[in-house]
Structure 1
């Protein structure tokens, strides 16, 4: 980890001075910051980055783009951008979805004002590490008043044939009263299983009165140790509906947050996760109510197979002054093995009166009565269990905006069940 490596990379990318200065500032404070706190998950000894900053070599095999849906999209493999598609009518309205370097050239003032606004590098050590060592990214910008009717897709492949860290930053900026449906996929691609790390930061800045339906499926391989942060910043009356499927194969810590800064802002966070093998996953899902009459709801459902470990922390925090705020959460886990381990931790922090808050949490096995009912109708045990689990995870799967991706997510669930 050296300042010289960061400077050399920034110069090679022709980054503006302000970004280099921010990288170096993050590098300087990194060791003085604490790791993020994920309750009941011990990850301090995990390798979450070795301080290398580099680009991938060009990917040899081009993915089959003909199989992708005909929506506006951006496709990257590692640090390389392979495809950009944006209809002319949206371009004429000022909508942009491009790689970070291009965004810094085409609309630098917008990027400079937004980058790090939802997640500043001073928050914790992994946020600082990300700012110092991010090696690729993308920016999606929707101007004031623009409504994007078709789902916009961001597809980000990790090249499993190389050890280059997958340090990617996704920045989504919605102007006042803008509307967007966005689908994001992180997935390993290639024939190799070269051990590496991922440090991913996704920032969503929702302007006054804007609305975004944000769906994501994470499918990084078993060779990738991952830290992923998704953070929303909601202005007055802004809404973000999150539907997040955590389907990775390797060890993961994740931090999914919505900061309800504005009065009347809304956040709905739906998260599903599956842990299998000896995989360890720790997921913090947090809503912080700053604005008056702001509403934040959390729903987390998880399934654990074999010797997997899954921890859900649901955190609702109502800040002093947020009168009329509403914070609700539910975390439920199905354990399909006696050797599985799980925690579902509801945490409510209430600093104001005249608010509404509640939580529910449960850990258990598949309901024997459900199994009996299905098997009495002629289904074998595996098929009955499969249907119960699909229904259990359906709250998020049904929110995925593209049919082919919904089917792909169901197939991933089925594959994990067959392989146990």
Structure 2
């Protein structure tokens, strides 16, 4: 199939599809999408990403991707799943396919003054060890799709830092074979409205995933994050850990789902989400969920939101720090448990820089 064919088929379906569902609470739909998104896309002309590789990984771009990837393109994430998926498929301007066969790294970066509609497909073959990073800085309307196939006994470390302006929509999904491992990290720091969904299908026996989210909306920004895992194989493991800081009139929305299929025995699945509220005008909502069809499971979920603890702030101020500096230390300390778990130095440095920039904006 050619890229023009994918675009044409997706374009023909846009009008008949609905927007992705949002969390609803009594009397409220939390995420409402802006009108006229397609009008912000003025061209589907290809964008050249900055790509750096190291080790045993082959990278293909453009039309060559569809020849090499075959049915892997839009297999995990369907183009006709919802309207935003179809808009993405109809306007892709960066298509990348990577095959990793050994220990390797792949770093992709976009810095554009127009919308970026990027699609990355990764095939980590048997025994491969791959580190992948994506960083996007764009304007108006950004979509970022990532499909990852984790081979037998392969491991993938994935990290993304999103800094687009305007509206951003990201979809990331992986499927594992036996003994495969996929660790996700997603950091979100910009955008008027950012909607991100990360999914792992633990199909192979003894496969595992870690899913980590870090986001920091300020002003009137709205960040909406979903983490989903589906346990299918035996002895699969999942650990979700996410943290958000919300300031000014910003909103933080989280939805987590752990689904354990009837076939999945000896499952371990844990989920924790915490939010720090820095303003009484900020808003936060969390919806962690369990769907368990096999009783042979260890599983739990938790979510909490709170303000800066008075005793901590008082302690710091008693040591000579003013209120603003005390708050800065509390914010950094709040993110630190997650930061310690990040295994990709490039992403850790980028997230620390973004957190510092957000704090500096308050001065």
Q: Which residue of 2 aligns with 1:153?
A: 107
Rounded Cα–Cα distance in structure 1 between residues aligned with 2:48 and 2:225: 29
Q: Which of 126, 129, 132 matches 1:176?
A: 126
User: How far off is 1:307 after superposition?
Assistant: 0.4
Q: CA contact under 8 A between 2:256 and 2:288: conserved in structure 1?
A: yes
Query: For residues 113 and 391 of structure 1, do their structure 2 counterparts lie closer, same or farther at Cα, with a shift above 3 Å needed?
Result: same
Shift of residue 361, structure 1, vs aligned partner: 0.8
The equivalent position to 1:256 in structure 2, one of 184, 190, 198, is 198
- Gapped runs of 5+ residues in structure 1? 1-16, 57-78, 189-194
CA distance in 2, matches of 1:208, 1:402: 22
Match of 2:27 in 1: none
As a proportion of its length, which structure holds more strand? 2
Instruction: Give me the whole-angstrom Cα distance separating, in 2, the residues matched to 1:102 and 1:132.
Output: 18
Cα pair distance change 1:245/1:288, threshold 3 Å = same
Once the two structures are superposed, residues 78-98 of structure 1 have per-residue CA deviations (whole angstroms, 9 ceiling, x without a partner) of x432654445xx4xx5x2134
Give the distance between the partners of 2:37 and 2:266, measured in 1 at CA.
40
Residue 409 (structure 1) shift? 2.5
CA contact (8 A) 1:53 1:134 kept: no
1:228 to 2:228 alignment: no
**C-alpha RMSD of the superposition:** 2.3
Judge conservation of contact 2:131–2:344 (CA < 8 Å) in 1.
no
1:266 aligns with 2:208: yes
**1:206–1:232 contact (8 Å) kept in structure 2:** yes
Q: CA deviation at 1:306?
A: 0.4
Deviations along 1:34-88, one digit per CA (max 9) or x if unpaired, are 32223142324444433857245xxxxxxxxxxxxxxxxxxxxxx432654445x
Partner of 1:26: 10
How far is 1:244 from its partner?
A: 1.5
C-alpha displacement of 1:337: 0.4
Kindly state the Cα deviation for residue 354 of structure 1 after the two structures are TM-superposed: 1.2
Q: Distance in 2 between matches of 1:352 and 1:142?
A: 34
Deviation at 1:116, TM superposition (A): 1.4
With the length of structure 1 as denominator, give the TM-score of the two structures: 0.78
What is the match of residue 240 of structure 1?
A: 182
Residue deviations 1:242-284 (CA, integer Å, cap 9, x gap): 1211112321111111111222211100101011111112111
8 Å CA contact retained: 1:270, 1:395: no
Residue 33 of structure 1: CA displacement?
3.1
The corresponding residue for 1:359 is 301
**1:80 paired residue among 23, 33, 47:** 47
Show CA shifts across 1:287-338 (max 9, x none): 1112222112211100011000110111111122212222211111001001
Q: SS of the counterpart of 2:254?
A: strand
- Distance in 2 separating the partners of 1:55 and 1:128: 14
Please report the TM-score for the alignment, with normalisation by the length of structure 2: 0.90
* Residues 81, 99 of structure 1: 8 Å contact kept: no
Query: Structure 2: how far apart are the matches of 1:320 and 1:172?
Result: 29
For residue 196 of structure 1, what is the aligned residue in structure 2?
140
SS in 1 for 2:161: strand
Cα drift, residue 402 of structure 1: 5.8
Aligned mates of 2:157, 2:264 — CA distance in 1:
24
The answer to whether the Cα contact below 8 Å between 1:173 and 1:205 also exists between their aligned partners in 2 is yes
C-alpha contact 1:333 1:344 (8 A) present in aligned 2:
no
Relative distance call for 1:82 and 1:177 in structure 2 (3 A) is closer
Q: Corresponding residue for 2:269?
A: 327
Q: 1:98 to 1:376 in 2, by over 3 A?
A: farther
CA deviation profile, 1:374-395 (whole Å, cap 9, x unmatched) = 2333333222221221121124
Aligned with 1:126 (options 78, 84, 92): 84
Deviation at 1:226, TM superposition (A): 1.0
SS at match of 1:50: helix
C-alpha change, 1:120 and 1:82, in structure 2 (3 Å) is closer
Q: Which runs of 5+ in 2 are unaligned?
A: 25-29
Deviation at 1:123, TM superposition (A): 2.4
Identify the residue that residue 113 of structure 1 maps to in structure 2: 71
How far 1:349 sits from its partner (Å)? 1.4
Q: 1:35 aligns with which of 19, 22, 27?
A: 19
For the Cα contact (< 8 Å) 1:215–1:399, is it kept in 2? no
**Pair 244,83 (structure 1): closer, same or farther in 2 beyond 3 Å:** closer
Aligned length: 357
- Secondary structure (helix, strand or coil) at the match of 1:81 reads coil
